[in-house]
Amino acid sequence: MTEKADTISGMKEDEYAAVYVHWPFCISKCPYCAFASVRRNDQSLYDEFGDLLLLDLRKSVAEVGLKGVKSVFFGGGTPSLASPRAIEKILNFLFKNYPAENGVEITLEANPATFDESKIKSFKNAGINRLSLGVQSFFDKNLRFLGRIYDGKQAIEAAEIVSRNFENFSFDFMCGYETQTAEDLESDLVQAADFGCKHISCYQLTFEEGTPFYRKAQTGEIKKINENKEAKLFDLVENVLRDRDIFRYEVSNYSKRGFESRHNLAYWKYDDYLGIGPSACSRISLDGKKREMEKTRDPFLWKAALERGETTFFRDDALTEEEKLTEAIAMGLRLTSGITTEDLYNKVSRKVVDRIVSEEKLKFLREKKLVDDDLSKIRLTKTGFKKIDAVAGFLLE
């Protein structure tokens, strides 16, 4: 069981950073996935990389001067392939050396085909207090289309195991593809709510360049759904979940009150976060500058750099005020609560904010009913959310 250091009184909220740990392996690569992951089914390799992730963490916290931990998120890839002991070692190192925010959230992503109840209990004993299950669908036909390695029965069994062992858990679903009907999606969401799920992510399928789905879309073998159907699904998800007291708080994320993902909120609120493992990105405040840092993408080049005692950050650049504003706007607009002007001023030069996000632009967006009339923040309306990229682009011109 992971022991946590006490929160240090006097530390400011913005001195705590979210920590992301990237697991680079999957048993099978989904045809829509553009994340940095490699197909491997080798327990000895998994054990080796568990130790390497701990080594990378030890080096990186020293390089960036980590002060405290806001949240920890094990993502990937398929981190449920890692051993619970490897997870426990990482958490023990963090919490024995750095203070944690009260109620620190510690999440692990899991694929339904990669665990049994015993392993889930072991993850919980290692310190995981939130489980994010990549369900995608409970329907066989949709799982086959998405290239998942389990069927609907296995997805249901995995959901049952998770709901028995965790109070705080999330299910991920994909929406907006040709084999899925609106009735399928509604059934998936209702079933998730019936499991007692506190948090649901529902992502629109996109064809990312370099993926098999992208190549199939280029040849017409598969097709993107039209914008009208996409908008209807956007409304369907919100309506079905709202009726079950699960509310949208971000474009693709919904939760019971108080169960919003604290880790992902760190990204959307443009707080500091540290990425560990191959391809992981960081935004860290150092010496009065916000730094954009990125790890070597290839897991075996990352391993070699660690073994040579070299840094695994291949990029470390100070962001300009304009770049910070672009990122803060792009992320913050995704939240239903919007971005307060005070938050922007705290993160970006007031002079730059006022020059680029002008009152004339905001007045135009209010007149078009794309942002609401609250002058203390920039908050998208329901119509605005459906045009979020265009709104962000207009604000940042």
Q: Write the CATH number for 206.
A: 3.20.20.70
Between the CA of residue 3 and those of 25, 93, 172, 350, what are the distances in Å? 28, 9, 29, 41
For residues 135 and 123, what is the distance between their CA atoms, to the nearest angstrom?
A: 18
Q: What is the dihedral of CA 175, 178, 180, 185, to 10 degrees?
A: 30
For residues 94 and 80, what is the distance between their CA atoms, to the nearest angstrom?
A: 20
* Same structural domain, 242 and 339: no
Place 3 in a pLDDT band, splitting at 50, 70 and 90.
Answer: low
Question: pTM of the prediction?
Answer: 0.95
* pLDDT score at 13: 74
* Same structural domain, 170 and 35: yes
* pLDDT score at 168: 98
Place 15 in a pLDDT band, splitting at 50, 70 and 90.
Answer: confident
292 in any annotated domain: no
Estimate to the nearest angstrom the gap between the alpha carbon of 280 and the chain centroid. 12
User: Taking the chain, what is the end-to-end CA distance rounded to the nearest angstrom?
Assistant: 50
298 in any annotated domain: no
If you average pLDDT over residues 135-150, what whole number do you get? 97
* pLDDT score at 291: 96
Q: Quick one: angle between helices 152-165 and 182-194, nearest 10?
A: 30
336 in any annotated domain: yes
* Same structural domain, 262 and 172: yes
* pLDDT score at 49: 96
User: What CATH number does the domain containing 353 carry?
Assistant: 1.10.10
* pLDDT score at 364: 96
For residue 335, the 8-state DSSP code is B
Give the position of tokens 């940095």. Answer: 36
Closest CA to 325 of 359, 350, 291: 350
285 in any annotated domain: no
pLDDT digits (tens, 9 = 90+) for 258-306: 999 999 999 999 999 999 999 999 999 998 899 999 999 999 999 999 9
* Same structural domain, 260 and 332: no
Residue 192 lies in domain: 13-267
3 in any annotated domain: no
* Same structural domain, 208 and 98: yes
If you average pLDDT over residues 146-166, what whole number do you get? 98
* pLDDT at residue 221 is higher than 70: yes
Give the position of tokens 């990186």. Answer: 60
* Same structural domain, 228 and 93: yes
Q: Given 267, 286, 312, which residue is the final one in a domain?
A: 267
pLDDT digits (tens, 9 = 90+) for 54-82: 999 999 999 999 999 999 999 999 999 99
164 in any annotated domain: yes
Place 4 in a pLDDT band, splitting at 50, 70 and 90.
Answer: low
* pLDDT at residue 1 is higher than 70: no
Closest CA to 348 of 333, 330, 328: 328
* Same structural domain, 67 and 187: yes
* pLDDT at residue 141 is higher than 70: yes
280 in any annotated domain: no
Place 308 in a pLDDT band, splitting at 50, 70 and 90.
Answer: very high
User: What sign has the CA pseudo-torsion 328, 329, 335, 340?
Assistant: positive
* Same structural domain, 263 and 371: no
80 in any annotated domain: yes
* Same structural domain, 233 and 369: no
For residues 85 and 108, what is the distance between their CA atoms, to the nearest angstrom?
A: 14
Place 36 in a pLDDT band, splitting at 50, 70 and 90.
Answer: confident
* Same structural domain, 366 and 262: no
* Same structural domain, 118 and 243: yes
Number of domains within the chain: 2
